Chain A
Amino acid sequence: MRKLLFSLMLLLLCSSLSARSLGYGVGFYGQNVEAEPERASSGAEFSLVYKPFLLAFLNPSLHVKNSVGTEMDGEWVAPYWEVGMSVDLIRIIDHPFNFLAHNVIAYTPSVSVAYQYDPRRNLSLASVGFSPFKLSQKDFWYEYFSPFLTYDLKSGELDSWGVNLVRYTFFFK
């Protein structure tokens, strides 16, 4: 507990190093559970992001996510809660995806690893994700077509796969 508090204090102190480091995001997710196809769902994904630095390479950030959507039978569910870390592999301005935005914008493809909890099945999962079309400005992240896989932490087997078609993150502080 003390370590956790110390880490949080350290993170908050570091946040003054970058102009805006706290953000919230909204995305459109779809997820298919391999063993239980009837649990496939889609809906909105909400996230909180903490980005303490602005590095040109391997820029890290922390996130908490929650999704709310409907399953195949139309029932409303919250298929996952997630805590994890993502790393922007590179940050470049001169790239072929500038046509995606109105202004010049940085291309920052990222990978993520996270702990995911599925409350429907009381299941702990490890999630890995890739955001190949992630564009970053000072205050915004725009992400398109970001796939993810989850693995059962007990058996190590693939549990589900999904994709975030769009995700917008706004940094407010």
Chain B
Amino acid sequence: MRKSVVLLSLLLFLTLPAFAGYFDLALTLGTNVHMFEKDLDPSRMKMAWGASVGLTDVWEFDVQVDTQLVPTFFGSSSISLVGQKALLGQRSTGSSTAGVGINTLVGAGVMISPYTSEGTLGISHLLLTLTPLTVGSPVTGKRERLFALTLAYNLSNQKFALLFDLVKYDFYAIGTYRDYR
């Protein structure tokens, strides 16, 4: 299982040059709550951190680690790998002209976590995610993602859970106005 995840990640990394021109990269920080699966994940509060990779003008790939802060400080974590599409216009123009400043994201992906009936680490959930509001863009260097709701289907017990991210900040290191001067 781990080998296939590493291989998949490597494959995605190698394909990035194919999207040259729109490529951008951000560090993500924010909040997360995992609901309706307390028997598998007893967390009350999680910190979301990871990276957001721009693939095209409307598509992006997000890697999000959710780490438990309460009740166990830096307790268990999960990793979500999600492809997302901007619905309201170009998230980045690949030039010094900023894309659409306010957007909506919808996407799908998988979660890798120990939140399974057996407690083993692996692909545990299928994810469908909606971020109703994003403010900012890669070109401006910062973006806020607000009120993201993710429907999570647990593959081990065939039950649904919900993830809620109140706010996430994307701090862009590559693909900002500084790179298009």
Contact of B69 among A30, A74, A99 (CB under 8 A): A30
A3-11, A59-67, A150-158, A160-168: which lies at the interface: A160-168
Q: How many residues on the B side are at the interface (Cβ–Cβ under 8 A)?
A: 20
Q: Which residue of B lies closest to A29 (CB)?
A: B45
For A28, what are the chain B residues with a Cβ–Cβ distance below 8 Å? 31, 45, 166
Q: Which residue of A lies closest to B140 (CB)?
A: A102
Q: Interface 1/0s, chain A 32-53, versus B by CB < 8 A?
A: 1000010011100000000000
Q: How many residues on the A side are at the interface (Cβ–Cβ under 8 A)?
A: 24
For A108, what are the chain B residues with a Cβ–Cβ distance below 8 Å? none
Asked whether, in the complex, the Cβ of B169 is within 8 Å of the Cβ of A163, the reply is no
Contact of A165 among B31, B136, B171 (CB under 8 A): B31
Q: Interface 1/0s, chain B 136-160, versus A by CB < 8 A?
A: 1000111000000000000000000
Answer whether residue A92 sits at the interface, using C-beta atoms and an 8 A cutoff: no
For A161, what are the chain B residues with a Cβ–Cβ distance below 8 Å? 73
- Contact A72:B42 (CB < 8 A) given known A30-B70, A40-B71, A163-B70: yes
For A41, what are the chain B residues with a Cβ–Cβ distance below 8 Å? 44
Contact of B169 among A29, A42, A74, A100 (CB under 8 A): A100
Answer whether residue B47 sits at the interface, using C-beta atoms and an 8 A cutoff: yes
Q: Which residue of A lies closest to B31 (CB)?
A: A165
Least Cβ distance of A113 to chain B in Å? 22
Asked whether, in the complex, the Cβ of A42 is within 8 Å of the Cβ of B140, the reply is no
Name, among A99, A101, A161, A165, the residue most crowded by chain B CB atoms within 10 Å (CB to CB). A165
Answer whether residue A110 sits at the interface, using C-beta atoms and an 8 A cutoff: no
Asked whether, in the complex, the Cβ of B45 is within 8 Å of the Cβ of A163, the reply is yes
Q: List residues of A whose CB falls within 8 A of some B CB.
A: 28-32, 37, 40-42, 69-70, 72, 74, 99-102, 144-145, 161-163, 165-166
Cross-chain pairs A/B with CB under 8 angstroms, 20 sampled? A28-B31, A30-B44, A30-B69, A30-B70, A32-B44, A32-B70, A40-B70, A42-B33, A69-B44, A72-B44, A72-B71, A74-B38, A99-B141, A100-B169, A102-B140, A145-B47, A162-B70, A163-B45, A165-B69, A166-B31
Minimum-distance CB pairs A-B, first 4 = A30-B45, A30-B70, A40-B71, A42-B44
